[in-house]
């Protein structure tokens, strides 16, 4: 991130906080109040895009032409529904890293945001792993681990629908210890005003239709490969040859199962963007949505 990038959003945040020309807080219970908020957010989001477009390394690669109008319409027509944001992208594209940065900003400002990972909705394959001896043997047998039918998509759909209407849920938890065990209803997922759902399975099936904002994370192939291999042998204790073999598998799986959703995304983000810069954008969005008069 260049000094200009830092100065740009720092300047915008400071300007919002010190401005004496603030709008009165809209009455969100009234349609006219929601319309005012929608118009205000439209103008501010366009401002964000304009600043980002001038950055040395923009984070916004593409934004769907009708996204702002569509999202504004949803805020006006159905204000009680949680704001559902789906984030997908191929393996090692930066989904989890971006979500961790979102979590950091959430903690800093105590924002009402929930983050749910769809990796916990993998099917329980413990019986298959016992049969084949190891997860790697199962994969090498031709078992298509990342295929949509290997996720509990009906459970995910039910959970997302309940969360979107304000109900807390308990999601499964898939154990990352090589056993393939999925524990049902193991993780409490609160239904906050904003719900971020990340993972390759977030858009699988008709679950994609529940999101108000669909985000696709895109990163250069070489960067993704380096990230994946480093993570495999430093964090997951895989030997390098096995990590390379698994990379070839997920490369094909991502091309087949995940990449098609790029065309349906409202926003395509650069997964190799500077996290400090991304954090400033999040802080600015927090500022403009919480800085009314009265």
48 three-class SS: helix
Q: Find out whether 34 and 75 touch, Cβ atoms under 8 Å.
A: yes
Beta partners for 122?
151
Helix (H) or strand (E) holding 117: strand 113-117
Model pLDDT for residues 216-236, shown as the tens digit of each residue:
999 999 999 999 998 887 776
Confidence of residue 239 (pLDDT cuts 50, 70, 90): confident
pLDDT digits (tens, 9 = 90+) for 42-72: 888 998 999 899 888 899 999 999 999 999 8
Task: Read off the pTM.
Answer: 0.91
CA 111/CA 267 separation, integer angstroms:
22
Q: What torsion do the CA atoms of 194, 282, 120, 265 make, to the nearest 10 degrees?
A: 80
The whole-angstrom separation of Cα 181 and Cα 157 is 21
* pLDDT tens column, 89-122: 999 999 989 999 999 998 888 888 999 999 999 9
CA of 121: how far to CAs of 110, 117, 267, in Å?
27, 8, 24
Can you tell me whether residue 114 is helix, strand or coil? strand
**Mean pLDDT to the nearest integer, 236-249:** 85
What domains sit in the chain, N to C, each tagged with a CATH number?
1-59+273-294 (no CATH), 60-272 (3.40.50.300)
Q: 250, 146 in Cβ contact below 8 A?
A: yes
Order of strands across the sheet that contains 60-63: 60-63, 267-270, 213-218, 83-88, 194-198, 113-117
**Angle (nearest 5°) at CA 69 between 41 and 46:** 45
| Cα–Cα distance list, 159 to 155, 188, 198, 251 (Å) | 6, 11, 14, 29
């Amino acid at each position: 991130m260049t000094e200009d990038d830092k100065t740009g959003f720092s300047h915008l945040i400071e300007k919002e906080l010190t401005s004496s020309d603030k709008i009165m807080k809209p009455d969100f219970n009234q349609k006219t109040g929601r319309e005012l908020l929608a118009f205000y957010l439209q103008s501010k989001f366009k401002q964000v895009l304009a600043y980002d477009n001038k950055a040395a390394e923009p984070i916004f690669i593409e934004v769907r032409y009708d996204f702002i109008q569509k999202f504004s319409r949803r805020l006006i027509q159905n204000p009680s529904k949680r704001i559902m944001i789906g984030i997908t992208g191929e393996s090692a594209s930066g989904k989890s890293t971006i979500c961790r940065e979102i979590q950091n900003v959430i903690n800093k400002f105590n924002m009402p945001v929930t983050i749910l990972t769809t990796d916990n909705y993998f099917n329980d394959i413990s019986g298959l792993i016992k049969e084949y001896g190891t997860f790697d043997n199962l994969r090498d047998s031709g078992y298509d681990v990342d295929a949509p039918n290997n996720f509990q998509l009906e459970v995910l759909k039910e959970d997302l629908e309940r969360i979107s209407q304000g109900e807390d849920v308990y999601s499964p938890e898939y154990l990352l210890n090589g056993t393939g065990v999925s524990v049902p209803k193991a993780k409490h997922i609160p239904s906050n005003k904003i719900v971020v759902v990340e993972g390759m399975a977030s858009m699988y099936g008709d679950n994609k239709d529940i999101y108000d904002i669909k985000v696709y994370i895109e990163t250069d192939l070489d960067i993704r490969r380096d990230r994946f291999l480093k993570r495999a042998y430093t964090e997951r204790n895989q030997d390098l040859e096995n990590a390379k073999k698994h990379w070839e598998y997920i490369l094909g799986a991502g091309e087949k199962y995940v990449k098609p959703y790029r065309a349906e995304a409202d926003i395509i983000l650069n997964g190799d963007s500077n996290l400090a810069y991304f954090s400033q954008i999040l802080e600015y969005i927090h500022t403009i949505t919480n800085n009314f008069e009265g």
